[in-house]
Amino acid sequence: MIVCGRLAEVGLDAARRLAVEYLHGAEGVDRCWAWRPDLVVSALLGGQVVGVCFASPGFGTGIVVDGIAVDGNFAGRGIGSKLLSAWEVAAGAAGFTEVTVGSAGGYVEHFYEKNGYRPVEYCVTVPGVVGVDGPGGVEITRVRVYGDFSLVNIASTNGRDPDAKAAALAACGGTHLSVIYAKSLSPMS
């Protein structure tokens, strides 16, 4: 039976290993553990950590799903959905009201949509420094400059539509695009 809930410290190394194998490394787990250990949520199967979901701060009462990973041996069995739902309950109980998450594409977009997330923006990686006004023809919501590249957020509810993604990339001269999904949380979610 799958049991989802706050990660026990004894499971931290197993959670880190999942993040290394399926995400971009263990740093996000460690950051969330230091910031809000109650929002590092695990899925246990027979007492073993087979999934982890963790967060980073958003704006105001917003919060960001920094990563979610399920052991590939157990993928596609509903564990990820159950884990995400348990994490949302924890985030809602902690007082957060909206969650956002970035998805680089593929089946993960289906996963978030299936779990009630709605596309609200694109985040486009653009080489070089982009001015605050950004490119024309699109509604810029945010520009962040990181030395040799910039991240340009564009309002869009087109989600995984490939034509809309291509148009957004072309408008910005971007090299990479992720869809930003959002979902409202309630204390009862």
Phi then psi dihedrals of residue 97, to 5 deg: -115, -20
79 binds ligand COA (CB under 6 A): yes
Contact 124, 152 (CB under 8 A): yes
Looking at beta carbons, which residue is closest to ligand COA? Answer: 80
180 binds ligand COA (CB under 6 A): no
Q: Nearest distance from residue 87's CB to ligand COA, in Å?
A: 11
Enter the tokens of residue 189: 């979610």
32 binds ligand COA (CB under 6 A): no
135 binds ligand COA (CB under 6 A): no
Kindly tell me which residue out of 48, 105, 114, 186 binds ligand COA, with binding defined by CB under 6 A: 114
CA 14 remoteness from chain centre:
20
Phi then psi dihedrals of residue 105, to 5 deg: 130, -175
Dist CA 95 CA 143 (whole Å): 27
In the complex, which residues of this chain contact ligand COA (CB under 6 A)?
A: 22-23, 67-70, 75-81, 107-108, 110-111, 114
